[in-house]
Amino acid sequence: MKKKILITGASSDIGIAVVQKYLELGWKVTAHFNKSSKKLKDLKFQNNNLDLFCFDFEHIQKFEKFVKQNKSFFKKHDAFISLTGLNNSKQFNLLKIDEINHHLNVNYFSSWLILREVVNSMKKRNWGRVLLTSSIGTKFGGGEKTFAYSLSKHMNEFFPSPLKEKIRYNVLYNCLRIGVTDTKIHKRVKNKNMKKRINLIPTKRMAKTTEIAEYIYFLCSSKNTQITNELLNISGGE
């Protein structure tokens, strides 16, 4: 029987690469996106093993209600990866409480609501893989315009003790701190000096989305048999 994986934030550049990787290796994939995603829809047209799931996690109370009403939908998955990444690029001193809360809802609480449902079903099957994602920015306190993003992603680096107890049932849980990757998000920031930013990376280059997808696949597959409860950096040495 094909294993099933739920990937949130799947419409991002990294998300698309991860979806493609799992589909290539025969998994059934449920890919979440917030707004219309042509790339995901094109993949859906090409592959019957892909299902799409649309929801705006900023409306967290609505999502909490949705999760309670659709528990069986979440429990059918053998693995869960969170790639959500809201970032409104607003300066630290101009942020409002509601804007920080929106980041927390999308980048952390959405995953927390899903985790509460999926891990117990994984326990019953004696197999499960969970991967939340963080950002290299959390290591440095975030940037001038990425405070809310880095703060919310940093919460994914917290390992709840109830999840640690699932290890004996072969449910492995990790967090991946992702460094600078060659995605279109950098092009959205005006006057961003990418050469200067890349020079701060010991390997002197950005990661490729396909590279990140390879590491993610390893951690959330049967290939990973021992890595759990770890915060792992893929950041070229930063």
What DSSP assignment string belongs to 150-167?
A: HHHHHGGG---HHHHGGG
Q: Quick check: helix, strand or coil at residue 204?
A: coil
The domain total for the chain is 1
pTM over 0.75: yes
Look-up of token digits 């117990």 = 120
Give residue-wise pLDDT tens across range 54-89.
999 999 999 999 999 999 999 999 999 999 999 988
Instruction: Give the mean model confidence (pLDDT) for residues 88-111.
Output: 93
Gap between the Cα atoms of 174 and 159, Å rounded: 8
Looking up residue 132, the CATH number of its domain turns out to be 3.40.50.720
Give residue-wise pLDDT tens across range 133-190.
999 999 988 888 889 999 999 999 999 998 888 999 999 999 999 999 988 776 665 6
Q: What is the pLDDT of residue 189?
A: 59
Phi and psi at residue 78, in whole multiples of 5°? -90, -20
79: containing domain = 4-234
Q: What is the pLDDT of residue 188?
A: 61
pLDDT above 70 (res 220): yes
Task: Of 64, 74, 157, 71, give the one whose Cα is nearest residue 105.
Answer: 64
